[in-house]
Amino acid sequence: MTLTDEQIENLAKHLENAELSAQDVLKITDDFPDIDYDDSYAIQYAIRKNKLERGNKFAGLKMGLTSQAKMKQMGVDTPIFGFLMDYMARNDGQEIIVSELIHPKIEPEIALVTKSELSGPNCSTEKVLEAIDFLIPSMEIIDSRYRDFKFDLKSVIADNTSSSRYVTGGKMTDHANIDLATTGVVLKKNGEVVATGAGAAVLGNPAQSVAMLANMLAERGESIPAGTFVMTGAITEAIAVDAGDTVTAEFQHLGSVTVRFK
């Protein structure tokens, strides 16, 4: 840690204010070039605590930068995690108001709910597969608070990994007969295919993403409790969206999920 409690709290307020006012800011490492990963997660956890204290409800966890494409683009080899809150959630077919966001992008993700606790440090794909209650088709709307969506790993962790909205489909699917690695997805914007991919884009298997989450949490003395909603990370690149767009992700086996931007 390099920051004081007061600096962490100030940076948490700074980034959350950027989120809630939909105004971009410069990445925090411009002013604090020497911060470490503990500082970054401390800022993220301070944002989470402030939201809870204001009455927002915790809704789940998300993994980010789990795809080869995104890690390569960022020049990093470690995924990151963030949190989801109730006000970020939308159901299939609902609207997202673009003026509440800065420069939103959308990405398809396989989400799941756990039925037993997952804890590290030696969590594995096999353990995750045993702990999955059901799968849900989903899309995440990321909206970096940083100008032009440009950031480094430490800045984006502090910014709650660009979390802003997410949409879940209505169908819950038992994963018993489904190979998550070969599960395909087609992303359509206004009826046109804009990206395609399969679960294997996410660390070889989206279940591995959850195992890594449990192992990262273990370093903090935390685990993934039973009944946790987890978004496993984008399968494709993120696609920019504007007011008037309708985006659908059609997943093999899992069904589809749609969101409209207004």
Q: Which of residues 2-61 bind ligand OOG (CB under 6 A)?
A: none
DSSP H or E stretch at residue 46: helix 37-53
Contacts for 31 with CB less than 8 Å, ≥ 6 apart: none
Q: Is 233 in the site for ligand OOG (CB under 6 A)?
A: yes
Question: Which of Mg ion, ligand OOG, none is residue 65 near (CB under 5 to 8 Å by kind)?
Answer: ligand OOG
Q: Is 160 in the site for ligand OOG (CB under 6 A)?
A: no
Tokens matching residue 28: 């925090």
Contacts for 28 with CB less than 8 Å, ≥ 6 apart: 11, 14, 15, 35, 43, 154, 155, 158, 159
Stretch that binds ligand OOG, among 115-123, 137-145, 173-181, 203-211 (CB under 6 A): 137-145
Tokens matching residue 24: 């971009």
Q: How far is the CB of 5 from ligand OOG (least distance, A)?
A: 26
SS3 of 13, please?
helix
Q: Among 65, 101, 201, 217, indicate the residue that binds ligand OOG (CB under 6 A).
A: 65
Q: Among 19, 140, 245, 250, indicate the residue that binds ligand OOG (CB under 6 A).
A: 140
Q: Is 248 in the site for ligand OOG (CB under 6 A)?
A: no
51/165 with CB nearer Mg ion: 165
- Nearest Cα to 203, choosing from 237, 163, 233? 233
Q: Is 208 in the site for ligand OOG (CB under 6 A)?
A: no
